[in-house]
Amino acid sequence: MSQSSIIDLVKEIVAVNHAWKIACDLFEETSPLAISYRDLKACLQIRLLRCHFPQVFLRLDLESDGEPLYSLRLQQSIGNRDNAEHLPVRVAKERLSLKEIEQFIK
């Protein structure tokens, strides 16, 4: 896949993450709209990992206050971004095989 597809996918993940946060603020985290955006973001992140590893990899975010999170790290920055948002460890375990998680962690 081309570098432009990585850029487009990262931009889409960032936009969906922003929309999810707005939906949570306007309604609540359990609203159907917020849940839809949250799930879409996770699907896009999984696609990014599967299609663009090792240019994109998982790293445990040790500064997370709440539930454990992975940061989707970018080998090369895209604009001023060095990551493609966070993915809860719980969601990674639900959607990826253990072998994939072990492969994607750096």
Condensed to tens digits (0 to 9), the pLDDT of residues 1-43 reads: 556 699 999 999 999 999 999 999 999 999 999 999 999 999 9
DSSP at 105: B
CA distance 41 to 12: 8
Averaged pLDDT, 59-84: 94
Q: How many domains does the chain have?
A: 1
Mean pLDDT of 68-77: 97
Q: What pTM was estimated for this model as a whole?
A: 0.93
What number of H helices and E strands is found in the chain?
A: 4, 3
Instruction: Name the residue range of residue 80's domain.
Output: 3-104
Close Cβ partners of 30 (under 8 Å, ≥ 6 residues apart): none
pLDDT at res. 76: 95
